[in-house]
């Protein structure tokens, strides 16, 4: 063992040579059967550290003479993974709130739009002129905007049907 190992495993000293590692560090007991690196969490200097563990056998021609245990400190990586997971969960919750908001707004916009469309249909029974056609176009545009709002909130999709609208013409409606 080296100086760093004695800091990570304070029980290592000259008298521990030949002792089973699993008696000194019980967390390492399961790593001997692993074909791939395992991860363990150990208390070091009063804080929790995470390590990737790789075990290699030391053999002579007849038998295994011992093991080389390599611990690689991955604490910073684990902390970043935890931060990323927390951010992912926060984003997921935010997206759910956005979808709920969009659904409520959609419902609240569709109700008066439906009333306006019915009023337009009744007005068109008496007359069908350019002003009513403009109102119908505005209703269609509002319907598309509501659908786009829902698509954007539910899928994060980009709105592909973008058109410029004159504020003056909308203001006249």
Task: Give pLDDT, residue 86.
Answer: 96
Task: Give pLDDT, residue 43.
Answer: 84
With a CB cutoff of 8 Å and minimum separation 6, the contacts of 71 are 5, 8, 40, 51, 52, 53
Q: Where are the alpha helices (DSSP H) in the chain?
A: 3-8, 21-24, 75-126, 130-155, 167-172
Residues 134-143: pLDDT tens digits? 999 999 999 9
Residues 47-99: pLDDT tens digits? 899 988 888 778 888 887 777 888 889 999 999 999 999 999 999 998 888 88
pLDDT band at residue 146, thresholds of 50, 70 and 90? confident
Mean pLDDT of the chain: 82
Cα angle 163, 169, 170; round to 5: 75
């Amino acid at each position: 063992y080296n100086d760093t190992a004695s800091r990570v495993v304070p029980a290592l000293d000259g008298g521990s040579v030949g002792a089973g590692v699993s008696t000194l560090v019980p967390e390492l007991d399961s790593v001997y059967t692993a074909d791939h690196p395992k991860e363990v969490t150990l208390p070091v200097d009063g804080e929790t550290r995470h390590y990737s563990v790789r075990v290699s056998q030391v053999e002579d021609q007849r038998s295994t003479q011992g093991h080389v245990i390599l611990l690689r400190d991955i604490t910073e990586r684990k902390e970043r993974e935890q931060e990323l997971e927390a951010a992912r969960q926060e984003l997921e919750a935010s997206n759910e709130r956005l979808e709920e908001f969009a659904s409520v707004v959609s419902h609240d916009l569709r109700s008066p739009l439906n009333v306006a469309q019915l009023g337009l249909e009744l007005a068109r029974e008496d007359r069908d002129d350019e002003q009513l056609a403009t109102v119908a176009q505005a209703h269609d545009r509002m319907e598309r905007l509501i659908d786009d709002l829902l698509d954007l909130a539910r899928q994060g999709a980009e709105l592909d049907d973008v058109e410029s609208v004159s504020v003056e013409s909308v203001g006249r409606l």
